[in-house]
A and B are shown apart, each in its own frame.
Chain A
Amino acid sequence: MTPISITHYTLTSALGHGKAATLAALQADRSGLRPNDFADAPLETYIGRVDGIDEISLPRDLAGFDCRNNRLAQLCLELDGFAAAVAGARERHGPKRIAVILGTSTSGILETEHAYRRRDPASGALPDGFHYAETQSMHSAAEFVRRYLALGGPAFVISTACSSSAKVFASASRLIQSGLCDAAVVGGVDSLCSMTLYGFNALQLVSSQPCRPCDPERNGISIGEGAGFFLLEKHPLPNPLPLAGEGAMAGGDLINLAPFAPLALLGYGESSDAYHMSTPHPEGLGAALAMEQALSRAGLNPQQVDYINMHGTSSRSNDSAEDKGMQRVFGTGTPCSSTKGATGHTLGAAGAVEAAIACLSLEHGIIPGTCNTQTLDPELGSAIQLQHSSRKLRRVMSNSFGFGGNNCSLIFGTQP
C-alpha cells in the first residue's frame, strides 16, 4: 500500500499527559499503575488511571456530551498541539474532507451505570438529564470529537473490543486511498467504569497485583484508561519545504498538501480467530495472520521490522498465544515488549495508545521495556525485552487483539 502520513499525534495514559511525559516514563522504565482508587468499583487490584479528568469541562454547546470518556477525549485533544494541528488541516482540506474514525469499547457507559442507581423507584425510569445519545451510545466518542474539532467528514466508531482503535487506521487508510476523504482524525478513547472492572474480574482475568506481562507468575491484567489521536493525511510535502507562502498564494495544488511528515502508517493486517469469544486461539493463528498481512501490505519481510509492541495483556492465554504467533511469523530474533505493565490495559484505546508509543519509539530510538515483569516465562520463545534500550528504529509493529477473536497488526515507519 501507499504509506499514509501521520502529520500529528498525541496520547495520554497512566504514564502522563502527552508525548514528553510518556517518553520520560518509558526511558525510566516507570509504571503508571496504582492501587485501585476508582470509587465505582473497589476491587483489590491495580489500575492505570489518567489524572485530571475530573477537572475537565466541556464547551458549553457540547455540555450534553459530558461524561468521563468525552472528558478524557478532550483532555487528550488539547495535548501536544493536536487540536491546533487539526485546525490547520481543516484549512488545507476543508472540514468535510476530513473523516473521524475512533475506537472505544465502552464509550460513556459510566454515566449509564450511575443512572441505573438513580432509577425512579416506582416506574423504574432513568433520571432526567441522562443523555443516551451523547454518553452511552458508542457513537458518542466520534460525534463529540468531530464537533469539538469542527469537522464535517464521515464520522463513526469502530468497536471491536481491544482491537478497536487499531482497526481505525485500516479503515481510515482505505477511505483516504479511495479518494473519498483527504485526511482523517483517528484514534481511540476508553475510560474506567464498573462494567469492565467487574466483568474482567468475573472472567478471573484481573490481577490483584500490578500486571506482569510474559512473567511466569503473571495472573491477569491491570485495567487502565487512556486516549490517543492521530492526524492522517494523503500527500506529504517534499522535504525541504517550498518557500513559505508560495504554495498558499499560488492557489494551486500545494495548498492542499500536508506538511512533510517523517512518520507513516506502512501497513495493516486484520483477521479473526474463529475460535472463542473471550479466549485467543492457543496457537496464535489469527494473530499470526494479522501480522503476516501487515507485512505483506507494507511490502516488508519480517527481518525489516525492528521492534514489536505486543498486545501483551498479562493474561496467561494472551501472552502465550501471541508469543506463538510472533514466533510463527518472525522467528525468535525480533525485539518485542509489552507496555501494558506501564499503562495498564486501556482496552478500546489500547490500539491508539500503543500506536502512539510505536511512533515515539521510532522518533526517539527507544525500545520500551516490559514494566513489572521480574523474569521471563521460559515457555515463551520471543525476544521479549524487560528493560528499555536505545537504538535507531525504522519500522515498528503494534499488535492489538480483542474479544470475539478480533486481531489487528499495524506497521509504522519513518519516511525517507
Chain B
Amino acid sequence: MIDIYLAGIGLCAPGMLDWASGSAVLRGEIPVNSELPKPAAILLPPAERRRSSQATRYALQAGQEAMNQAGLPATQAAVVFASSDGDGENLHHILESLAQPAHEVSPTRFHNSVHNAAAGYWNIATGARTPANSIAAYDDSFAAGLLEAAVQAASEYMPVLLAAFDLPLPAPLHAVRPTAAPFAVALLLMPEPANALARLQISLESSTEASTTMPQPELESLRCGNPAARALPLLQAVASGLARRIVLGWGDNNLVIELSHE
C-alpha cells in the first residue's frame, strides 16, 4: 500500500473552470453546465504559448492551479502527465500532410507531436529540471498516472504533480475514438501530511469490485466519456469532505484509494 497526501487540485473542464467552481458542482451546490474553459496558460512565455496546443494549455492550466493552491514552487515537484490520446488536433494535421504527395510536415507540429509535449512545455515554462513523465494507458490512463505519481512521491520522498488530460479528437479520428468533452485535472501529491487536503492510501487489488461511479447522470457521462474524467469520484470525495473508498477499474486489477481527511 502507498500512503500519500493530496496538497493541491487543479481542474479545467466543462462547467468546472477551476477547483473552486468544480468542487461546488461536485457538492451539488451549483448545477452541472457545459460552459467550456478557455485555458490561457499564462505560465508559458509568449513564443511557447503561440506554439502550444489546446491540449497542452488544458494540462498546464490545471497543473498551475494545483501548484498555486499548495503554494509550492514548480521547481520542487516532479511531474507525471497522463493522457490516452495526447494532442489529437496536431496529430490529425500531421497525418493529413503525410497523406498528401508532398509529405510536408511542419517542424513545429512534429516537435509538438511527442506524447510528452505538455511535460516539455511545463518544464520550459517553470524552469523545473525535475523528472518529467508522460504516460498512456488508454481508458485507464488516470489510474496509471496516479499509480506512477503516488509511487514516485512515496519512494523518492518528493512532491509529484499528476496532470491527466484528454480532449475530443477531430474528425475522422473522433469516429474511431470518441471523447465526450475536454477534461484536465491535476493533483499535487506529497509524502507528508502538512497542509494536506486529504490522505490517500492506494493499493492494487483483484478486480472483484465495480468501479466507483458518479451519482449525477451528467457527471457519470463525463466520467465514462473521457479517460481523464475517471478522476471525478476521487474529486467528489475530496469536495464532500467525507472518507470514502474509491475503486478505479484497470484491466485485471483495481486501483483502490482509501480517502480520508485526517
Contacts and interface: CB of A to CB of B under 8 A. Distances in A.
A363 to B, nearest CB: 29
B112 interface: yes
Contacts of B177: 132-133, 137
Contacts of A105: 114-115
Contact of B253 (A142, A152, A277): A152
A146 B144 CA distance: 15
Interface stretch (A235-243, A317-325, A402-410): A402-410
Given A157-B136, A178-B155, A202 B253 contact: no
Interface string A88-132: 000000011000000001000000110011010001111000101
Contacts of A132: 173, 176-177
Contacts of A404: 114, 116-117, 119-121, 123, 132, 134
B128 interface: yes
Contact of A403 (B85, B116, B141, B255): B116
B129 interface: yes
B136 A195 contact: no
Interface string A38-53: 0001000000000000
B133 A171 contact: yes
Nearest to B120: A404
Nearest to B115: A159
Contact of A156 (B126, B131, B137): B137
Chain A contact patch, size range: 35 or more
Given A139-B137, A199-B105, A180 B151 contact: yes
B111 A278 contact: yes
Contacts of B218: none
Interface residues of B, number: 66
A274 interface: yes
B158 to A, nearest CB: 11
Contact of B84 (A119, A139, A155, A195): A139
A146 B98 CA distance: 31
A200 interface: yes
A216 interface: no
A289 B129 contact: yes
Given A154-B204, A155-B137, A126 B176 contact: yes
Interface in B74-132: 78, 84-86, 94-96, 98-99, 103-107, 110-117, 119-121, 123-124, 126-132
A274 to B, nearest CB: 4
A123 to B, nearest CB: 8
User: Chain A contact residues: over half helix, strand or loop, or mixed?
Assistant: mixed
Contacts, number: 204
Interface in B191-235: 203-204, 206
A286 B121 CA distance: 15
A332 B139 CA distance: 47
A28 to B, nearest CB: 35
A385 interface: no
Contacts of B78: 270
Interface in B161-178: 171-173, 175-177
Contact of A113 (B99, B123, B138, B253): B99
Contact of B98 (A116, A124, A154): A116
Nearest first, the 7 A-B pairs at minimum CB distance are A404-B120, A199-B110, A159-B115, A270-B131, A138-B136, A152-B252, A156-B144
15 contacts: A96-B206, A116-B96, A125-B175, A139-B138, A153-B253, A154-B255, A156-B148, A158-B133, A161-B114, A180-B203, A199-B105, A277-B51, A286-B129, A289-B129, A404-B117
Interface of B: 2, 51, 78, 84-86, 94-96, 98-99, 103-107, 110-117, 119-121, 123-124, 126-138, 140-141, 144, 147-148, 151-152, 154-156, 171-173, 175-177, 203-204, 206, 250-253, 255
